[in-house]
Amino acid sequence: MRTVLFVGSFDPFTLGHHDIVMRGLQVFDKVVIGLGVNPDKKMMFDLEKRLFFIQKVYENDTRIRVTTYSGLTIQFAAEIGACAILRGIRNSIDLEYEKTIALANKNQNSNIETIFLLSMPEYSFISSTVVREMIKYKGNLQGLVPDVLIPLLQQ
């Protein structure tokens, strides 16, 4: 079974993230969504709530596991037996940032690849930052996050 790790803070999880997960399943048998623990980063939603949100999206899909981890992503990928790390790319800024991390990861463990998927045009403008602003100012979340999350994020 080929497992891929998709990581992020997912504060909150967006349709862009969901698209990358679903497209990842076209290439891999299993996607592990890893929420990295970063106590230095200020989040809108605490770790347990972000974990709950993503589990809610995939509660009926056994090909997807949602978990948290701390430490280096490349070490966690090795621990779970992932053959690759999956990353979404929206623009050239994302590419430069992700390329640096991918090369550092390859330096740490040459057996784990990083796979980049380009964002679909309809999701390329969506970021967790944009969604947080919409939540804060009670904007329309339709088309930004999975439908199942809209009522949960509006509470």
- Distance CA(132)–CA(154), nearest Å, equals 11
Contact 76, 35 (CB under 8 A): no
| Residue 40: pLDDT band with limits 50, 70, 90 | confident
Q: Which of 41, 42, 136, 138 is catalytic?
A: 41
Does residue 39 surpass a pLDDT of 80?
A: no
17 in active site: yes
- Distance CA(84)–CA(69), nearest Å, equals 16
- Distance CA(103)–CA(100), nearest Å, equals 5
Percent of the chain with pLDDT strictly greater than 70: 100
What b/e readout covers 32-56, taking b as 16+ CB neighbours within 10 angstroms? Answer: bbbbbeeeeeebebebeebbebbee
Which CATH code for domain 3-153? 3.40.50.620
pLDDT value of position 37: 86
pLDDT value of position 1: 86
Domain ranges of the chain: 3-153
Q: Which of 17, 30, 50, 87 is catalytic?
A: 17
30 in active site: no
Q: Which of 18, 63, 65, 90 is catalytic?
A: 90
138 in active site: no
Judged by average pLDDT, the poorest of 22-31, 77-86, 91-100 is 91-100
41 in active site: yes
From residue 34, how far is each of 20, 69, 121, 134, 139 by CA, in Å?
A: 14, 6, 25, 24, 28
- Distance CA(134)–CA(138), nearest Å, equals 6
Percent of the chain with pLDDT strictly greater than 90: 94
pLDDT value of position 110: 97
Give the three-state DSSP class for 86.
Answer: strand
